[in-house]
Amino acid sequence: MTDRIVLAYSGGLDTSVAIGWIAEATGAEVIAVAVDVGQGGESLETVRQRALDCGAVEAYVADARDEFAEQYCMPTLRANGLYMDAYPLVSAISRPVISKHLVAAAQQFGATTVAHGCTGKGNDQVRFEVSIQTLGPELKCIAPVRDLALTRDKAIDYATAHDLPIETTKKNPFSIDQNVWGRAVETGFLEDIWNGPTKDVYDYTDDPAFAPAPDVVTITFDQGVPVALDGETVTALQAIEQLNRRAGAQGVGRIDIVEDRLVGIKSREVYEAPGAMAMIAAHRELENITLEREQARFKKTVDQRWTELVYDGQWFSPLKANLDAFIDETQKYVSGEIRLELHAGRATVLGRRSETSLYDFNLATYDTGDTFDQSSARGFIDIYGLSAKTASQREERLHGKPDLSGAGVQK
């Protein structure tokens, strides 16, 4: 029986050429797998037919938009997932769901190998292959660009020579990856980190310098997940899509960073994630009023480690599952409403309301009705500062009093 290889197929030039390129290089039959995670563009049927026209023996297509939104984007939101405090894991969270479907297709069609279009310099090769090895340990992985020397110039020449039904051009300077959670742009003139992004870099967001009138939206959360916008019930996918449109119109969610890649190099990346960044801002504020202080402090540590694991391709790892359990427990009271103003590139919290809030007006107020017993403060301070005071007394006993004569003197 002829070997079969499953290929992660986008419908673009590189993966269309890879179908025939892999078949010629390995002698195997190629099954193309296309997964819709909200990247837009052509229909799945169009992509499926192109794969067959380019030589695939089978084409597996999956509409995974709701699955991606509910099972990957929402956990990222609950973890406030921002790598280097900036990047909302746009590409990192799409790779495990695509890998899941690649493994399912390999098992369905009897393939022994999975192929993807990543280079040897990026994070995605790790994300795909670690996920595939975890879900299908019996499968091998290859990457035509990395392993079979398939360059873009070779891809264009191959497509032209074989008259493949795909547009070929050497003019597009950018490498773009997008889904419903956001859009990632790199390469081209952006590789010179002194260059600022030009307007043609952006697609999901309008220029915040020319923003329309402020847009105020109320997001209702249930256990850390948005369930309504302005009182209208929404699914996870609908919440992201609607906030992409509304926040994007205000230029919210533009990110330009030099990022520490898993492979050890620094890379300049430009992202657009209007809905994601608006929701993370709202979710963080709702946690501020519903999480107990020590719980909230520790969750920041968990969120950061969770984000690093996901960025590094460890979505299906045991530690990630352990951290998921902790995050799930923290979210049981993260329910309520956050009112956001979207304007000129910013998502600003205007109001918060929750039945499970820990904010007590009568404890917080300085006006009539204050129920806080201020007489308790003196004893608390004495005990709270006791260890530092004891250590200071030891220093004085052994070394004398510190010289404070110049303290606070401005010269």
Task: Assess contact for 65 and 38: CB atoms under 8 A.
Answer: yes
Distance CA 72, CA 126 (A): 18
290 is in an annotated binding site: no
87 is in an annotated binding site: yes
175 is in an annotated binding site: yes
- Residue 124 bears catalytic tag: yes
Q: Which tokens is 390 given? A: 């004891």
160 is in an annotated binding site: no
51 is in an annotated binding site: no
123 is in an annotated binding site: yes
27 is in an annotated binding site: no
- Residue 36 bears catalytic tag: no
Beta-bridge partners for 141: 114
14 is in an annotated binding site: yes
The torsion angles phi and psi of 306, rounded to 5 degrees, stand at -60, -45
119 is in an annotated binding site: yes
Q: List the catalytic residue out of 4, 14, 99, 312.
A: 14
Q: List the catalytic residue out of 63, 146, 175, 354.
A: 175
Beta-bridge partners for 266: 260
- Going through 4-89 in order, the beta strands assigned E by DSSP cover 4-8, 29-36, 58-63
241 is in an annotated binding site: no
- Mapped onto helix, strand or coil, the DSSP state of residue 5 is strand
Residue in 84, 101, 82, 95 with CA at minimum distance from that of residue 130 = 95
Q: Which tokens is 174 given? A: 């950018």
352 is in an annotated binding site: no
- Which residues touch 4 (CB under 8 Å, ≥6 apart)? 28, 29, 30, 31, 57, 106, 109, 110, 111, 112, 113
Q: Which tokens is 353 given? A: 């309301």
187 is in an annotated binding site: no
- Mapped onto helix, strand or coil, the DSSP state of residue 351 is strand
Q: List the catalytic residue out of 65, 78, 124, 206.
A: 124
Q: List the catalytic residue out of 65, 78, 95, 183.
A: 95
Task: Assess contact for 269 and 259: CB atoms under 8 A.
Answer: yes
Binding-site residues? 8-16, 87, 117, 119, 123-124, 127, 175, 259, 271
Binding-site residue ranges for L-aspartate: 119, 123-124
> Binding site for ATP: which residues?
8-16, 117
From the annotation, which residues make up the binding site for L-citrulline? 87, 123, 127, 175, 259, 271
- Tell me which residues are annotated as active site: 14, 95, 124, 175
